[in-house]
Structure 1
Amino acid sequence: MAGIRLQPEEADLTQHQTRAATGDLVSDDERSVAADSWSIKSDYGSTLDDDQRHADAAEALSSANFRAASDYNSDKEEADGEGVASMLGLQSYWDAAYADELANFREHGLAGEIWFGSDVMGVVVSWTKSLCIKISQGHIPYHFDDIKSEPVDQDDKYLSSWSVLDIGTGNGLLLQELAKQGFSDLTGVDYSEGAIDLARNLADRNGFPNINFLVDDVLETKLKRQFQLVMDKGTLDAIGLHPDGPIKRIMYWDSVSKLVASGGILVITSCKSTKDELLQEVEIFNQRTSMSQGLETQKDQVSGDPSAFQYLNHVQTYPTFMFGGSVGSRVATVAFLRR
């Protein structure tokens, strides 16, 4: 398997755990409000009423036999570490965390945490660049093993035409790294206003004023455009840690499928799901999509395949280890093609 349900780098998570454990940043009232609501006040105005979307997702959860993993369920009694980790699914947690990081930036010029660490981010960026160049050249790598994570020193001209969306962008450093590689049409969204404030300040300071940052919740996005490349580094993980994680993961796929342009790609980096688990989750979404389209629509499709997403490839260069007789890694990065 590609990953074994481990948390982000211990040093990164420990900092968050310390904040959460002290209670200085997130009050009990804030946690209660966040647990009851998954909405934001954004640049686009009031949020949508998502009662029906919750009901639809709940119905899909039961009818599709979707795996409601205990990792994403905070109803059971948990060890302290798991209890703290579940807070990563609450908006109040991230609002408090980014308020703290924004204050540190203004006082000390610090950029804040890099989720999964700078090494993983470097691999994701160079690997994604190689993948996009191959696709631009007409070499769509269906299950090929020749996508490397080494930087490509030529063909940067192909990258300027790619529109890129980073969901759950945080401090926006992933988009800065993509800009350094030749991508220019870059947008980052996060439901935390503090994260967007920090990302904008960092981009301006580091010479990337053209990166577009917006407050937006991927689960009820107000974005009207589609993107050729959508990046997710840890957002699906955080969504899964919400008390309603299994349902919200279904909502995630419904929403993200509308953001990725036809022929575009979705690149997910996760430390909570293995490659095979992500493939299974996509397959379940594809089956739901097929059922909703109806038999006649399926027959009319030229490709004969009504799947919304198709597996392209995954990063194979992360360090691996043996656990319980299986080979795994701490992080999985998987690319899917939007049909």
Structure 2
Amino acid sequence: MSDVEQLTSSKLGTKQYWDEFYNLEKNNYAENPNDSGECWFSDSGAEEKMVDFLVDEEEQGQGESLISLDCKMCDLGTGNGRLLFSIREGGFTGHLTGLDYSQPAVEFSTKIAEQEEMENITFEHADFLGDAAMWSTGNRQWDVVLDKGTLDAIALSDIKYEGKTGVQTYPHVVQHMVKTRGVVLITSCNFTSDELVKIMTTDTCLKEWKHVKYPSFRFGGTDGSTVCTIAFKKE
């Protein structure tokens, strides 16, 4: 196992933690419909940057971009579904799917979608790593696969999949979830850009495509940022 994958396990990598978290979020929402939960990486504006990237690619592509307004998109570890709602508000019309292995998260995001009258969005309970065979057949594929912090949470889990870590398993499952000439757009705070590229492109059909820019800081003579967002394309 490479150093890239050797992160210390944490409760943030357990299903129990997320079930309890989203049960609480669900209860809070029932009491106050204005409280639709946390927006992960809000300090860095990651959600906005991911949506802006998709919008810009569609607008600048002039019909030849990998991104189109009617793209079918899937959000891995969708949580409260906010990323998909923002994408819909950004003008994208294709069917959107949110997957989460926490049933309370699926119930929570579904309820928000109903309350806010978000159409053509489906939330599903799914463990795409634990049920890898189901997601590796090519029968279910999307134009764009999204991840905002889910790979980070997977890296904090000590669960093994046929002897491999979640981080080792993740890219080999995800590459089958995206169509040829499709895009995987990932935001991470646990991995550097170089580490994320290595994870996603080693022995897969995914290639590094474009990086989303964030404000950078200098520490120890090296430039960096608190998060990175990278788009990979499937060839």
TM-score (norm 2): 0.88
**Secondary structure of the residue that 2:183 maps to in structure 1?**
strand
Residue equivalent to 2:192: 274
Say whether 1:117 aligns with 2:42. yes
Residue equivalent to 1:130: 56
1:84-123 correspondence to structure 2 within 5 Å: 86-109=10-33, 110-117=35-42, 119-123=45-49
Alpha-carbon RMSD across the aligned residues, in angstroms, is: 2.0
Residue equivalent to 2:155: 240
Deviation at 1:250, TM superposition (A): 1.3
Residue equivalent to 1:189: 99
Q: Is the 8 A contact 1:133 1:159 kept in 2?
A: no
Pick the aligned partner of 2:222 from 326, 332, 336.
Answer: 326
Deviation at 1:236, TM superposition (A): 0.3
Residue equivalent to 2:174: 256
1:268–1:259 Cα change, 3 Å:
same
Deviation at 1:322, TM superposition (A): 1.1
**Secondary structure of the residue that 1:169 maps to in structure 2?**
coil
Give the whole-Å Cα distance in 2 for the aligned partners of 1:269 and 1:132.
Answer: 19
Say whether 1:171 aligns with 2:118. no
**Secondary structure of the residue that 1:131 maps to in structure 2?**
helix
**Aligned-residue identity in percent:** 35
Whichever residue aligns with residue 112 of structure 1, its letter is G
Residue equivalent to 2:121: 211
Q: Is the 8 A contact 1:250 1:285 kept in 2?
A: no
* Greater strand share, structure number: 2
Give the whole-Å Cα distance in 1 for the aligned partners of 2:201 and 2:47.
Answer: 27
**Secondary structure of the residue that 2:79 maps to in structure 1?**
coil
Give the whole-Å Cα distance in 2 for the aligned partners of 1:327 and 1:170.
Answer: 31
1:136–1:236 Cα change, 3 Å:
farther
1:279–1:213 Cα change, 3 Å:
same
**Secondary structure of the residue that 2:197 maps to in structure 1?**
helix
Give the whole-Å Cα distance in 1 for the aligned partners of 2:207 and 2:59.
Answer: 18
Q: Is the 8 A contact 1:267 1:335 kept in 2?
A: yes
Say whether 1:311 aligns with 2:208. yes
Whichever residue aligns with residue 276 of structure 1, its letter is D
Q: Residue by residue, what CA displacement relative to the aligned partner does 1:79-113 show, whole Å, maximum 9, x if unpaired?
A: xxxxxxx1111111000000000000001121011
1:41-52 correspondence to structure 2 within 5 Å: none
Say whether 1:283 aligns with 2:201. yes
**Secondary structure of the residue that 1:178 maps to in structure 2?**
helix
Q: Is the 8 A contact 2:154 2:166 kept in 1?
A: yes
Q: Is the 8 A contact 2:187 2:227 kept in 1?
A: yes
1:337–1:134 Cα change, 3 Å:
farther
Q: Which has the higher contact order (CA 8 A, sep 6+)?
A: 1
Residue equivalent to 1:52: none
Give the whole-Å Cα distance in 2 for the aligned partners of 1:136 and 1:192.
Answer: 39
Give the whole-Å Cα distance in 2 for the aligned partners of 1:336 and 1:168.
Answer: 18
**Secondary structure of the residue that 2:165 maps to in structure 1?**
helix
Pick the aligned partner of 1:202 from 97, 107, 112.
Answer: 112
Runs of 5+ consecutive residues of structure 2 not aligned to the other structure: none
Q: Is the 8 A contact 2:201 2:208 kept in 1?
A: no
Runs of 5+ consecutive residues of structure 1 not aligned to the other structure: 1-60, 75-85, 141-155, 287-307
1:56-95 correspondence to structure 2 within 5 Å: 61=1, 66-67=2-3, 69-70=5-6, 72-74=7-9, 86-95=10-19
Structure having the higher Rg: 1
1:67–1:136 Cα change, 3 Å:
farther
Give the whole-Å Cα distance in 2 for the aligned partners of 1:280 and 1:199.
Answer: 32
